[in-house]
Chain A
Amino acid sequence: MSDVVEKTLTALPSLLSLDSQPGSTKLSSTSKLGTLIRGITELTSKHEEEKLIQRELTSIKEQVSSPNTSMRQMKELMVRAIYCEMLGYEASFSYIHAIKLAQQGTALEKRVGYLAVSLFLNESHELLLLLVNTVLKDLQSTNLIEVCMALTVVSQIFPKDMIPAILPLVEEKLNHPKEIIRRKAVLALYKFYLIAPNQVQHIHNKFRKALCDKDPGVMTASLHIYLQMIQENPEGYKDLTTSFVTILKQVVGGKLPMDFNYHSVPAPWLQIQLLRILSLLGKNDQSTSEIMYEVLDESLRRAEMNHNITYAILYECVKCIYTIHPKSELLEKAAKCIGNFVLSPKINLKYLGLKALTYVVQQDPKLALQHQMTIIECLDHPDLIIKRETLELLFRITNAQNVTVIVEKMLEFLRINKDDYTTIDLVGKVAELAEKYP
């Protein structure tokens, strides 16, 4: 048995039950939650389930409102309340107690309290304001686990108006010696940036510092913010292109610790983020694009293995190559890649291949022609999704010669399709074509 599991099993003091028996199994067979779950599984009708849950909720309601309930018991009650809400029943009486639990509980109790809050409430809920004080307090705690919990909750759900109150505290965490805290602080700032961009304008230089952070996790976190900012203003960040290219080179070249490998691929999500950033920076800009050709070539080469994640990276690479200023050798390799996708027997890859073809068809119509046999086969594919994607592709390569055939196929599809949204979309396309080619 692995280290992790051993440690977890021995350290788990039957979390969900009120009595702590060291070494009890993960399944907490004596816990109240366990009993509830088993009770539900044994029932046969929805009506009975409703009755059972309502009984349970009444009991929970009584206990949470009682002044004698300890925090430990409250935690257990909260877990059951979460479970009931997950099944679709309403337990709003417990919301305020969740906040209280986060405030007054210690360690695991606090964690469950925060979890309950993040699951129960949403951004516009009035109770959220009460959470702010708790978070502020925890951010200043000497117990780093509490700081982590506070930062996690902030990144998920936080009232926009209270950002100024908490911003300085989060900012100072950017310089914390522990990487997990720096990383979470960056993510909290990312969240702030998304909901109130003008509030975080003044700290852009701190993001740069995060980008150069020696820990790859922190650096990756900063990329989320950069991707967003670059999307809004690519010109402002062209000077960072070389930095991004260097980082990608290092990642692809395997310079990160082995830890970050996912199925032998170094930091795939990081690669993908960087590829997207590079796409945005290189678009319509020859000089910037030239900086990245080498690393794109390298990425294409390295992504050789047969794993889904490699294909995901390849797809992003291909998209990038077609977006930035064109370079013929790269385009050739990318075209070959797309070809492999479309011809692949794996249905998910076929889908991606079709999607890629749709994307590039304006720039390279020959590619679609090259694969037209496969495309025609896809039209008759049993899976509706593939069919629909093929129609999407065909829509883009419609010309005066093939329009009749294509529209016929679309109408055929409309007859068997049951999904409203797709129908509306497709009808729109047919109408467009009808107008264009009377």
Chain B
Amino acid sequence: MSNLPVVQVTTLKMQFMLLFSRQGKLRLQKWYVPLSDKERKKISRDLVQTILARKPKMCSFLEWRDLKIVYKRYASLYFCCAVEDQDNELITLEIIHRYVELLDKYFGSVCELDIIFNFEKAYFILDEFLLGGEAQETSKKNVLKAIEQADLLQEEAEAPRSVLEEIGLT
């Protein structure tokens, strides 16, 4: 029986992204597939333990259950994504890197504390960049611009019209 590898040119469907510290504390979790709370907790726990057990020189990709996991450690934070099995793992690695670059640009030399104390901002940026689990090829400028504009809006809450005109949205 010849097992011709089937062309699984699937979309880069990310299942979830987790950020956690070296002690295994979750800093951010974004799920792109419907799973119950209980399942999510179990997956997070198991996966975090597995990744924390990896040594530094090892491959950034690992097969875990029926998923492909891509992870990378930046300073004290682990960024970990799960993609479907046949995908090109390097792309996911670069998606993680791109996300880190966006965070860095937004917070200015980002550190773990920035993400901890402003995690909802990290979520906003993630959502602009990875909508529904797919990487958007928008320029870095556009992603951050979208976040900033909403930030500015908060400041001028009493006169929203003028800000919108100012930044050319009306």
- Residues on A close to B: CB < 8 A? 1-2, 4-5, 7-8, 11-13, 15-16, 26-28, 33-34, 37, 79, 82-83, 86-88, 90, 106-108, 111-112, 115, 118-119, 122-124, 142-145, 148-149, 152, 155-156, 178, 180, 183-184, 187, 190-191, 216-217, 220-221, 224, 227-228, 231, 257, 259-260, 262, 267-270, 272-273, 276, 279-280, 283, 308-309, 311-312, 315-316, 319, 323, 347-348, 351-352, 358-359, 362, 383, 385-386, 388, 396, 419, 421-422, 432, 436
* Contact of B160 with A396 in the complex, beta carbons under 8 Å: no
* Contact of A107 with B154 in the complex, beta carbons under 8 Å: yes
Q: Is residue B166 contacting chain A, with contact meaning CB distance below 8 A?
A: no
* Contact of B136 with A83 in the complex, beta carbons under 8 Å: no
Q: How far is the CB of A38 from chain B (nearest CB, A)?
A: 10
Measured between beta carbons, the chain B residues less than 8 angstroms from A7 are 148, 152
Q: How far is the CB of A80 from chain B (nearest CB, A)?
A: 11
CA distance A187 to B137 in the complex (A): 12
Give the contacting residue for B131; candidates A187, A311, A421; CB below 8 A: A187
Using a CB-CB cutoff of 8 Å, which residues 4-52 of chain B contact chain A? 4-5, 7, 9-12, 25-32, 34-37, 41, 44
CA distance A279 to B119 in the complex (A): 39
Measured between beta carbons, the chain B residues less than 8 angstroms from A28 are 117-118
Give the contacting residue for A270; candidates B11, B37, B137; CB below 8 A: B137
Using a CB-CB cutoff of 8 Å, which residues 96-133 of chain B contact chain A? 97-98, 105-108, 113-114, 116-120, 123-124, 127-128, 131-132
* Contact of B2 with A362 in the complex, beta carbons under 8 Å: yes
Which residue of the partner chain A has the closest CB to B135? A269
* Contact of B119 with A83 in the complex, beta carbons under 8 Å: yes
* Contact of B164 with A348 in the complex, beta carbons under 8 Å: no
* Contact of B60 with A348 in the complex, beta carbons under 8 Å: yes
Measured between beta carbons, the chain A residues less than 8 angstroms from B162 are none
Q: Is residue B84 contacting chain A, with contact meaning CB distance below 8 A?
A: no
CA distance A12 to B120 in the complex (A): 14
* Contact of A316 with B88 in the complex, beta carbons under 8 Å: yes
A contact face: mostly helix, strand, loop, or mixed: helix
CA distance A268 to B12 in the complex (A): 13
* Contact status of A283 and B7, CB under 8 A, knowing A2-B105, A26-B117, A419-B64: yes
| Size category, B interface | 35 or more
* Contact status of A12 and B151, CB under 8 A, knowing A180-B142, A269-B137, A422-B63: yes
* Contact status of A156 and B9, CB under 8 A, knowing A122-B34, A348-B61: no
Chain A CB within 10 A, most for which of B29, B146, B154: B154
* Contact status of A260 and B137, CB under 8 A, knowing A27-B113, A348-B93: yes
Q: How far is the CB of B45 from chain A (nearest CB, A)?
A: 9
* Contact status of A279 and B94, CB under 8 A, knowing A267-B137, A362-B2: no
Subset of 8 A-B contacts with CB under 8 Å: A26-B107, A107-B160, A119-B123, A148-B150, A156-B32, A259-B139, A316-B91, A323-B7
Measured between beta carbons, the chain B residues less than 8 angstroms from A272 are 12, 88, 91
Measured between beta carbons, the chain A residues less than 8 angstroms from B151 are 8, 11-12, 108
* Contact status of A144 and B170, CB under 8 A, knowing A5-B108, A86-B26: yes
CA distance A312 to B97 in the complex (A): 13
* Contact of A1 with B108 in the complex, beta carbons under 8 Å: yes
* Contact of B91 with A312 in the complex, beta carbons under 8 Å: yes
* Contact of A148 with B127 in the complex, beta carbons under 8 Å: no
CA distance A422 to B67 in the complex (A): 11
**Which 6 A-B pairs give the minimum distances between C-beta atoms?**
A259-B139, A312-B90, A5-B108, A108-B154, A220-B137, A217-B138
